[in-house]
Homo-oligomer: A and B are copies of this chain.
Amino acid sequence: MFQRVLVANRGEIALRVIRACKDLGIESVAVFSEADRGAHYLSLADEAFCIGPAPSSESYLLINRIIAAAEVGNAQAIHPGYGFLSENAHFAEVCQSCHITFIGPSHEAMGKLGDKISAKAIAQAAEVPLVPGSDGLIDSEAEALRIAKKIGYPILIKATAGGGGKGMRVAIDDSSLKNGLKQAAAEAEKAFKNAGVYLEKYVERPRHVEVQFIADHHGNVIHLWERDCSLQRRHQKLVEESPAPTLPKSVREELCKAAVRLAKAASYTNAGTCEFIVDKDNNFYFIEVNARIQVEHPVTEMVTGIDLIQQQIRVAAGEELPFKQKNIPCEGCAIEVRINAEDPAHNFRPSPGKITKLRVPGGPGVRFDSHVHQDYVVGPNYDSMIGKLIVHRPTRDQAIATMRRALAEFEIEGVKTTIPLLQEIFAHPAFHSGDVDTTFIERTTWASGTAKPHS
């Protein structure tokens, strides 16, 4: 086991890793930018080094500074957290060349999965379903109609050079497909000087379901069940839960097995997440692998009883996974919400400032992972998440009740937060019935300011 681990991150995930190290009897080395100097969580590490000024590009993203800090701090391993350098294969490679263990997958696996095309090839080889579509660019209307017949409507026409919705059309029948092809090609030609388009099955009201897995260096790959993260706003997850509501057990098991096949095919080690979209008929399609720990890992910790960060460190140190697939429980229901310093009344713009008052909910079934405290100053330099509120209860109804109680207990002054929107979500009948997909926030009217994307 390592004696010292450097935490190449900040805020709540840095604190989370520092705590896991302490629980394992490992010393931790923190790094910080000048904007984070004096932050309370740094005092919980055994050592802390300033690595640069506030901008991430001059501190938390500077590979050589972090390696230097690990060297002067005598750390044998680096935990990258999420964000920043966590999915940077080059960083993982530099760590390796400096004989520092990167707590995460190998840079080879990261590289393979980081590239969309090779990731899809791996998925295909592992018999993990992909969103059906054309194999490449569409050459003719006839070809398009043939493919459409095979995969069925609705179909998404996407520009290969596209982005921001430009050169994108939804076709619901042959006629709209023909028109759409022309319009999309013309639009793409105009916007990107590239008229190439391809087809993909359009998944209506997709649910975002992801599978947590962990693999050791001895060939064992185990899934820790799934999380439903459909509740998003502008592709930012707001609520995550495990198990996925409304998904039949058999589908959940298929989904989890698919993720394990994929991880094995990619020779993956350490913790990772396989993301899927699930359509209204419970068909699931591979989207991508997140080759790192995720913000929402606590919901998996609650239902399985497994400390994921500790387990990441153990696996990286060469330990074998101490459990078998059949012994991994998925007990009760866990839900996490992200509390962001954002102003719902002003289109969720960041709301930095000093937290002048903080009353955090507690009691049974409630966990709050956060680096903030009364008098903490939320700066404008990094993302707006100030904490994660997690509940764990025997049933989903009870979990929702406890979350509502906990959100009602939460008092924070000095910054605006997403709590009012979260309270509305948890009071919404559609959320209670599990009838939630990635469009839920956008197509629902919210009293607490606007949660809509373009207002």
* A402: B residues at CB distance < 8 A: 23
Interface set, chain A 407-423, CB cutoff 8 A to B: 408-409
A55 on interface, CB distance cutoff 8 Å: no
* A305: B residues at CB distance < 8 A: 331-332, 394
CB distance from A303 to the nearest CB of B (A): 11
Q: B23 near A401 (CB under 8 angstroms)?
A: yes
* A331: B residues at CB distance < 8 A: 305
A40 on interface, CB distance cutoff 8 Å: yes
Query: Complex formed: what's the CA distance from A301 to B44 in Å?
Result: 29
Partner of A373, one of B16, B301, B332, B359: B359
Partner of A363, one of B15, B25, B360: B15
CB distance from A222 to the nearest CB of B (A): 16
Known: A307-B365, A359-B40, A364-B367. A23 touches B301 (CB 8 A): no
A362 on interface, CB distance cutoff 8 Å: yes
CB distance from A373 to the nearest CB of B (A): 6
Which of A24, A305, A362 has the most chain B CB atoms inside 10 A of its CB? A362
Known: A22-B408, A24-B401, A305-B332. A367 touches B359 (CB 8 A): no
* A409: B residues at CB distance < 8 A: 19, 44
Query: Complex formed: what's the CA distance from A405 to B28 in Å?
Result: 13
How many chain-A residues does the 8 Å CB contact rule pick out?
A: 38
Copies assembled: 2
Nearest B residue to A366 by beta-carbon distance?
B367
Partner of A405, one of B19, B332, B360, B401: B19
* A82: B residues at CB distance < 8 A: none
Q: B16 near A363 (CB under 8 angstroms)?
A: yes
* A408: B residues at CB distance < 8 A: 22, 44
Nearest B residue to A308 by beta-carbon distance?
B364
Known: A331-B305, A409-B44. A362 touches B373 (CB 8 A): no
Q: A23 near B398 (CB under 8 angstroms)?
A: yes
A160 on interface, CB distance cutoff 8 Å: no
A370 on interface, CB distance cutoff 8 Å: yes
CB distance from A332 to the nearest CB of B (A): 7
Q: A363 near B369 (CB under 8 angstroms)?
A: yes
CB distance from A397 to the nearest CB of B (A): 10
Known: A373-B359, A374-B374, A398-B23. A364 touches B405 (CB 8 A): no
Fill in one digit per residue for A225-244: 1 if any B CB lies within 8 Å of its CB, else 0.
Answer: 00000000000000000000
Query: Complex formed: what's the CA distance from A398 to B44 in Å?
Result: 19
User: Which A residues lie at the B interface, using CB under 8 A?
Assistant: 15-16, 19-20, 22-25, 40, 44, 298, 301, 305, 307, 331-332, 358-360, 362-370, 373-374, 394, 398, 401-402, 404-405, 408-409
Q: Which 10 A-B pairs have the closest CB atoms?
A: A22-B405, A19-B363, A374-B374, A23-B401, A23-B402, A307-B364, A301-B364, A23-B405, A362-B368, A359-B373
A-B contacts, 13 listed (Cβ < 8 Å): A15-B363, A19-B363, A22-B404, A22-B405, A23-B365, A23-B401, A23-B405, A24-B401, A25-B401, A44-B409, A305-B331, A305-B332, A363-B367
